[in-house]
Amino acid sequence: MSVQQRAQYETLFRPAAVGGVELANRIALAPMTRVSATAEGVPTERIGAYYRVFAEGGFALLITEGLYIDDQTSQGYFFQPGIANPAQAAAWRRVVDGVHAAGAKFFAQLMHAGSQSQGNPQTTATWGPSAVRPKGEQLAMYRGSGAFRIPRAMTAEQIGQVRAAFVNAARLARDAGFDGVEIHGANGYLLDAFLTDYMNARTDDYGGSVANRIRLATEVCGDVVAAVGADIAVGIRISQAKVSDNRHRWAGGEEDAAAIFTALADTGIDYIHTTEYRALAPAFDDTVRSLAGLAKRYSGLSIIANGHLDDPRDAATIVDSGAADIVALAKAALANRDWPRRVRMGQPLSPDVPADLFGPVATVKDWEVTDVPNIAGLEGRDYKTVDTT
């Protein structure tokens, strides 16, 4: 890579800020499901080492995988880490300290899996806006199989419980030392299920119009901002596609995008994180703007963009265009854990994600799977986690 080529990427290495959080550059690690906590959702030293590598490699901001927010219905996968109780938060404190020592900032992504949950030892029921089964099938790589379960349509009381759980998790994340929290409102998980027209058949204030379907997400954002927004950054991740339906698009196109992003900005959050299959592609057939560009236009907030920005030319393009302030990398980061350093120094990038993402190949037995109900017979089976961003 020539000096001239490296110069065109300098925009990625300018300082940035999200809320009151100062970043050394504009390159973030995207949240990626790792399913490598203990059976009780406690992050391990292995998780700590995994995140430190990216901090040492020059990523200015790391965003955790989705962390479940309560000990009842929010967990999505077996061995998913949580931040629902003091034991989990205390273990995250050690991970956060390691990331900070390596020079990066760290945000916790807060998640309720909703009807896409496929591994929760606390319950056999899932929650959703309506009793509508998600499209597609469970993910085999996360030990799921067959169709998703039909969720229970949530009551007003249960909606209140979810709002309170997001607030509690945000406070635990703040107290564990995280620099920010990202509310998971994407990929078909609970908040996105409320937004999704075919998953939400409600006739109350949470169903029908886009303004009603985005209501729970805006309430959660407002609740979290009120609880911790003076102390740490607060944002939300938004997508059109789902884990179980990667072709979904908002039926109202840019009009829907305007309503959604304006409503989210009005909650007082600091940023929006958009994730699309290709971040630079037009969000809809009748517009040239990307989803990140629409988020910037209608919210005016800091925008993190994710989606096949692996090539530094593409990453620099979306920042230079003004559509995004920060890029979040997933597979490219797994293949190059020092991606920022390599790009800055003009070193070649590997296109290959390693088969083993943590070091020695893990087995389910390593986490004493026999202590977890409903997955007997998996002991000793090799598995390898992959990115589903």
Q: Which residues are catalytic?
A: 189
SS3 letters across the chain: CCHHHHHCCHHHHCCEEECCEEECCCEEECCCCCCCCCCCCCCCHHHHHHHHHHHHCCCCEEEEEEEECCCCCCCCCCCCCECCCHHHHHHHHHHHHHHHHCCCEEEEEEECCHHHCCCCCCCCCCEECCCCCCCCECCHHHCCCCECCCCEECCHHHHHHHHHHHHHHHHHHHHCCCCEEEEEEEECCHHHHHHCHHHCCCCCCCCCCHHHHCHHHHHHHHHHHHHHCCCCEEEEEEEEEECCCCCCCCCCHHHHHHHHHHHHHCCCCCEEEEECCCCCCCCCCCCCCCHHHHHHHHHCCEEEEECCCCCHHHHHHHHHCCCCCEEEECHHHHHCCCHHHHHHHCCCCCCCCCCCCCCCCCEHHHHCHHHCCCCCCCCCCECCCCCCC
Tokens of residue 2, six digits: 């020539």
- Distance between CA 300 and CA 372 in Å, rounded? 45
State the amino acid at position 210 in one-letter form: V
